[in-house]
Structure 1
Amino acid sequence: MKAYELLYFVAPSIDEETRTAVMTRIESTITDAKGAVDNVDNWGKRKLAYEIDGLTDGDYTLIDFHANPTDVAELDRVLRINDAVVRHMIVRRTDRD
């Protein structure tokens, strides 16, 4: 398995229940594919560099995980169809393999 880092943000106006549902969906997608979530770091509300969909702030979360490269595409698909996630980025971390 390879090490990856996922950074995503949701609108700060979204309720805590929806944030928890997004996090649960991400964790279940990783663990269902025999991956492992190593660390979850909630960065909280941060100012965006530029306005996206009328938002100037976002509530950021950083997740470190291990997964097979073929399963990362499924995680990317899940994040794309989730309306709560405004933007996301998955990066391979070669320094943590």
Structure 2
Amino acid sequence: MRDYEMVFIARPAVEGEALQALIERLHDVINAGGEVLETDVWGKRELAYPIEKEREGMYFLIRARMDPNHVSEVERTIRYTDQIIRHLIVRVPE
């Protein structure tokens, strides 16, 4: 098991209960092959350049410990989630 940090940018319309539902969905996928250590919602911020015609996005960070083979499953789920416009997953150095 390795530690990972995942930063997501969701569409700005995703707020409140919709944001919580999205985070819970990601937690469920991560917990299937690991565990969520921390979730930090950074809030709505202006993007440096438009992404899919959006000028703002809801940023949030999830720190998790999971099997390296499970990362591809998490990425596949993210790709098919229309609410997320960008993501980055990096392994935390030991």
TM-score normalised by length of structure 1: 0.91
1:8 aligned partner, one-letter code: F
Equivalent-residue separation in structure 1 for 2:38 and 2:28 (angstroms): 14
1:84 aligned partner, one-letter code: Q
Q: Tell me the number of residue pairs that the alignment of Structure 1 and Structure 2 aligns.
A: 94
Judging by fraction of residues, say which structure has more helix. 1
1:70 equivalent in structure 2: 69
1:46 equivalent in structure 2: 45
2:25 equivalent in structure 1: 25
In structure 1, the gaps of 5 or more residues are: none
Equivalent-residue separation in structure 1 for 2:86 and 2:53 (angstroms): 13
Give the CA deviation at 1:32.
1.3
1:90 aligned partner, one-letter code: I
Equivalent-residue separation in structure 1 for 2:40 and 2:17 (angstroms): 18
Sequence identity percentage = 36
- CA RMSD between the two structures: 1.0
Give the CA deviation at 1:15.
4.0
Equivalent-residue separation in structure 1 for 2:22 and 2:4 (angstroms): 18
In structure 2, the gaps of 5 or more residues are: none
